[in-house]
Amino acid sequence: MDERLSFEEALGRLENIVQRLEAGGLTLEEAIALFEEGMGLAKICNERLDAAELKISQLQSALEQKLESEGEALDKS
Amino acid sequence: MRIYSVAEVTRYLRELLEADSMLADLWISGEVSNLSESAAGHLYFTLKDEASQLRCVLFHRARLALTLESGTAVVAHGRISIYEVSGTLQFYVDLVQPEGVGMLHLEFERLKAKLADEGLFEPARKRPLPPFPERIGVVTSPTGAVFHDIANIVGRRYPLVELVLSPTPVQGDSAAEGIIQALDTLNNIEGIDLVILARGGGSLEELWAFNEEKVARAIYASRVPVISGVGHDTDFTIADFVADVRAPTPSAAAELAVPHRAELEGRIQSHRKALAAALSGDLDRHRQRIDELTRSASMHLRNFMIISREKLGSRETELASLSPLATLGRGYALVQHSATGEVVSRIAQVERGDAIDIKVSDGQFVGRVTGSKKGLQAWMNGFPSKKR
């Protein structure tokens, strides 16, 4: 199973699999394969939630950018 | 020296006045006098104070439900220009409020009405928020608790997110421009799904940047959806009306921005249950089918056995009727050559002195050939029924 699947994609696929299984009309082999894939996806979803840590980054403000470019201009002169 | 026509000068003056940004958008306070109404419903009046007077016109379409009386002190919003036909300087009024209402309130109401009129607040324009954002831009002050609170809430609810702080002052003269720049920067970054525009509580003056027209237009122009969370839940700003979603506070904005992990975990859990239920349902159906097939197979087998037994029974009877034992029972005997076991059916098979086995219905005895005679007549004479 693709480890790079995003949480949203994994959850979406999981929901799709549940629907297909509930709709029925599958061979036993298909049903078992879907079940296993679905359980794997549920595991991925939970792992993603458990492992995630909020990432924070900060952009430069317009003022900082301006000061910096003025500084560069001063450096050059 | 050039000599100008009156029209040239009045047009020049008009253009000069209309090029001035201060005169294009200003509030003037004064007392209403010389009020008259034209047949078309336009109001003409003079605004005056101790020192001066100014001609004013309020066109019919801008009048709304206003009643104006001579002698009342008002604050009017509009633009200054020249009416070329009469060469008069005029104040083209689009909004009049009684004196005494706070200026900021006046400006707020005016801008709100104007932008609403332009369709900036249209519900149909509001964009849905992405259900699972991956990068969230935050436009707020880098100092202060607001960003910290947002990071806390998002981290607790849905940590699968990158928060990108685009810092700006959120009050004071540079706030409006800063907010516009910060929004613009985020809009030019790849992968930003959503922007939170936030500021903590404050007075109307402190929150004023969020009521400025250029900020409203920047929010309207944003490529990504914007959640506003400005002040407390009783504070409404123009930014709130333009934003795709208005949150009452910065914390509430953070909550609206991301799903809740507890809710997601519940969903995943119910999906797991549904999977297991669906599979066991499938297994049950297959098991039932196997059951049915087995039952029907064993029934067929049983039927086959019964039929076979019946067939066997009638074959046995047939066989019995064909058995030589029955014939022997009627008095016939089977003769075999003792040495070879060969069944003797012709006299040529034996010679005088040969030992023969004679089988009858209840056993056999041994004899010896003492003579033979050819021809059917020979044995018919000795037939038991002919014995006397």
* Burial classification of residue B302, based on how many CB atoms lie within 10 Å of its CB (0-12 exposed, 13-18 middle, 19 or more buried): exposed
B337/B311 same-domain check = no
Residues of A in contact with B272 (CB under 8 A): 38-39, 42
Residue B265 lies in a domain: no
Return the C-alpha torsion angle B293, B294, B295, B298, nearest 10. Answer: 120
B238 and B280 share one domain:
no
Going along B171-277, which residue ranges are E strands? Answer: 194-199, 226-230, 245-247
Domain identity same for B96 and B176: no
- The overall longest dimension of chain A from CA atoms, in Å, is 78
ipTM of the prediction: 0.71
Name the most confidently modeled range: B35-39, B211-215, B331-335: B211-215
Residue B281 CA to residue B277 CA, distance in Å, equals: 6
Looking at chain B, the whole-number percentage of residues with pLDDT higher than 90 is: 47
Domain hosting B297: range is 276-322
Q: What is the pLDDT of residue B388?
A: 44
Q: Report the DSSP pairing between strands B355-360 and B363-368.
A: antiparallel
Predicted confidence at residue B216, as pLDDT, reads 96
Kindly tell me if the per-residue pLDDT of B109 is higher than 90: no
> What is the per-residue pLDDT across B371-387, written as a single tens digit (0 to 9) for each?
888 877 776 676 555 44
The chain-wide mean pLDDT, for chain B, equals 88
B271–A38: do the CB atoms touch at under 8 Å?
A: yes
- Tokens 């004071």 belong to B172
Residue B65 has pLDDT above 80, yes or no: no
Domain assignment present for A1: no
**Could you tell me if B152 and B230 lie in one domain?**
yes
pLDDT tens, residue by residue, A15-58: 999 888 888 788 888 888 888 898 899 888 888 888 888 888 88
Phi, psi torsion values for B100, nearest 5 degrees? 110, -25
Q: What is the CATH number of the domain that holds B172?
A: 3.40.50.10550
Chain A: residue whose CA lies nearest to B260: A49
pLDDT at B66: 62
What would the mean pLDDT of B316-340 be, rounded to a whole number? 80
How many structural domains are present in chain B? 4
pLDDT of residue B185: 93
Instruction: Report yes or no on B370 lying in a domain.
Output: yes
Q: Each residue of B257-274: pLDDT tens digit?
A: 999 988 899 999 999 998
Q: What is the span of the domain harbouring residue A52? A: 7-76
Select the residue from A53, A59, A60, A64 to test the B interface by mutation, using most B Cβ atoms within 10 A: A59
Cβ contacts of B160 on chain A, cutoff 8 Å: 7, 48-49, 52
Q: Are residues B314 and B295 in the same domain?
A: yes
Note the pTM of the prediction, 2 decimals: 0.61
Q: Is residue A2 part of a domain?
A: no
With an 8 Å Cβ cutoff, is A53 touching chain B? yes
My answer on whether B293 and B342 are in the same domain is: no
Q: What is the CATH classification number for the domain harbouring B28?
A: 2.40.50.140
The count of domains in chain A is 1
* B73 assigned to some structural domain: yes
